Amino acid sequence: MLKTSQRLHEQDPVLSLARLHPYLLEDDNNFPFVLVIPGGGYEGISCQESAPVAGWLNSMGISAAVLEYSVSSKEGVDIYPRPQ
Protein backbone atom coordinates (compact mmCIF):
# COMPACT_ATOMS: atom_id res chain seq x y z
CA MET A 1 0.00 0.00 0.00
CA LEU A 2 1.20 3.48 -0.85
CA LYS A 3 1.94 5.36 2.37
CA THR A 4 4.30 8.15 1.32
CA SER A 5 4.74 10.35 -1.72
CA GLN A 6 5.91 8.34 -4.73
CA ARG A 7 7.27 9.18 -8.17
CA LEU A 8 5.07 7.88 -10.96
CA HIS A 9 8.01 6.72 -13.10
CA GLU A 10 11.74 6.55 -12.48
CA GLN A 11 13.17 6.84 -16.02
CA ASP A 12 10.67 8.85 -18.08
CA PRO A 13 11.82 12.49 -18.14
CA VAL A 14 8.29 13.90 -17.84
CA LEU A 15 6.58 11.33 -15.62
CA SER A 16 9.53 11.27 -13.21
CA LEU A 17 8.62 14.89 -12.28
CA ALA A 18 5.09 13.86 -11.22
CA ARG A 19 4.34 12.54 -7.73
CA LEU A 20 1.40 10.87 -6.03
CA HIS A 21 0.64 11.99 -2.45
CA PRO A 22 -1.63 9.54 -0.56
CA TYR A 23 -4.28 10.51 2.01
CA LEU A 24 -5.49 7.02 2.84
CA LEU A 25 -7.86 6.05 5.62
CA GLU A 26 -6.89 2.85 7.40
CA ASP A 27 -8.68 0.57 9.83
CA ASP A 28 -9.09 -2.63 7.81
CA ASN A 29 -12.08 -1.24 5.92
CA ASN A 30 -12.43 -0.77 2.19
CA PHE A 31 -13.01 2.94 1.76
CA PRO A 32 -14.12 4.69 -1.42
CA PHE A 33 -11.19 6.39 -3.16
CA VAL A 34 -10.86 9.61 -5.17
CA LEU A 35 -7.86 10.74 -7.20
CA VAL A 36 -7.50 14.52 -6.75
CA ILE A 37 -6.03 16.30 -9.77
CA PRO A 38 -5.72 19.96 -8.79
CA GLY A 39 -6.31 22.67 -11.35
CA GLY A 40 -3.79 25.27 -12.31
CA GLY A 41 -2.05 26.56 -15.37
CA TYR A 42 1.28 26.43 -17.09
CA GLU A 43 3.04 28.08 -14.15
CA GLY A 44 1.93 25.74 -11.35
CA ILE A 45 -0.86 23.76 -9.74
CA SER A 46 -3.34 25.12 -7.21
CA CYS A 47 -2.32 24.37 -3.61
CA GLN A 48 -5.87 25.11 -2.41
CA GLU A 49 -7.20 22.34 -4.66
CA SER A 50 -4.84 19.61 -3.45
CA ALA A 51 -4.21 18.75 0.23
CA PRO A 52 -7.27 20.66 1.53
CA VAL A 53 -9.52 18.74 -0.87
CA ALA A 54 -7.96 15.40 0.14
CA GLY A 55 -8.45 16.29 3.82
CA TRP A 56 -12.08 17.22 3.18
CA LEU A 57 -12.64 13.87 1.44
CA ASN A 58 -10.99 12.07 4.39
CA SER A 59 -13.41 13.84 6.76
CA MET A 60 -16.28 12.21 4.83
CA GLY A 61 -14.73 8.71 5.02
CA ILE A 62 -13.16 8.77 1.55
CA SER A 63 -9.52 7.91 0.90
CA ALA A 64 -7.72 10.12 -1.60
CA ALA A 65 -4.45 10.71 -3.39
CA VAL A 66 -3.27 14.00 -4.89
CA LEU A 67 -1.49 13.93 -8.24
CA GLU A 68 1.28 16.54 -8.35
CA TYR A 69 1.87 16.79 -12.07
CA SER A 70 4.32 18.70 -14.23
CA VAL A 71 3.05 21.95 -15.71
CA SER A 72 6.14 23.72 -16.97
CA SER A 73 9.48 22.94 -18.49
CA LYS A 74 11.97 22.00 -15.78
CA GLU A 75 15.48 20.68 -16.07
CA GLY A 76 15.39 21.02 -19.87
CA VAL A 77 12.43 18.64 -20.25
CA ASP A 78 9.63 19.70 -22.60
CA ILE A 79 6.17 19.27 -21.05
CA TYR A 80 3.20 18.89 -23.41
CA PRO A 81 0.98 20.53 -24.32
CA ARG A 82 3.14 23.62 -24.39
CA PRO A 83 1.58 27.05 -23.97
CA GLN A 84 1.12 28.96 -27.22
Read off the pTM.
0.74
Mean pLDDT for the stretch of residues 73-77: 59
**pLDDT of 1 higher than 50:** no
**Residue 81 pLDDT grade (very low, low, confident, very high; cuts 50, 70, 90):** low
pLDDT, residue 57, reads 96
- For residue 79, the 8-state DSSP code is -
* C-alpha neighbours within 13 Å on the C-beta side of residue 50: 15
Q: Which of 37-41, 45-49, 75-79 has the lowest mean pLDDT?
A: 75-79
Q: Mean pLDDT throughout 7-34?
A: 82
Q: At a CB cut-off of 8 Å and minimum separation 6, what does 77 contact?
A: 13, 14, 17, 70
Q: How confident is the model at residue 68 (pLDDT cuts 50, 70, 90)?
A: confident
